[in-house]
Structure 1
Amino acid sequence: MNHLDQIHPAIAVVIAAFVLIGTVLTLLGTVGLLRLGSFYERLHAPTLGVSWGTAGILIGSVLMYSTLGSRPVIHELFLGIMMMVTAPVTLMVLGRAALHRDRAEGRPPAGSDAPGHPLKRGTER
């Protein structure tokens, strides 16, 4: 007999849905990281994938172990909070560092390819 046999089928479907949603979001973040072109475009997809993907998987895990243990399992919520806070902040710092580097090297930042933009090459005054 398996300990998973103790989970009610309706709760197992909810747990599976959360884990599936979290896995798909994490996979989409990874695909976005690989497929998008510039460094700045690549920052957005992993942030959402890690944050919401981790949240879905952790909610499923909390539901499963709370159901099996007949007590709320909240220590995993700390992991989720840390992932939701640290991943976006880390990628924001990386983006700002890349923007600082681009400005120091005289390259136009992302979204500045409009004609006449002061940082566009060939249009410096």
Structure 2
Amino acid sequence: MQVQVNTIMIGVRDVARARKFYAEGLGCALDKDYPGFVLLRLGDGSSALALYEWDAVAGDAGVSPEGSGFRGVSLHSNVASRAEVDEIMATAVAAGATVVKEAAAAEWGGYFGYFADPDGYLWKVATTA
């Protein structure tokens, strides 16, 4: 058996706000839209992104919903050019994201930046080389 990730689910404080950020702001395709749950398609070859009420995710897993700060995970979007990095960063900010690290050249020869969505989830946008 080989493990596959076909959906990434994140707990959000406000599903409507998160839907607006991802669907309208970043242009993700809306697949399912229920009260308290949204499923978005991120493109061919990519996992889907599910948005679920924060407390409901914790309840589903049987853990406490308490906690804040860095969650030990970041979502990455690898693109072909610096212009694409800059475009995605600008689109995210226009949609309500916060720049965490301005896009800049990296020691490894690439170019990357970080933004946080309205719930604080980190996104790294980077060139592939």
TM-score, length of structure 1 as denominator length = 0.23
Indicate the structure with greater strand content: 2
TM-score, length of structure 2 as denominator length = 0.23
> Which of structures 1 and 2 has the bigger CA Rg?
1
Indicate the structure with greater helix content: 1
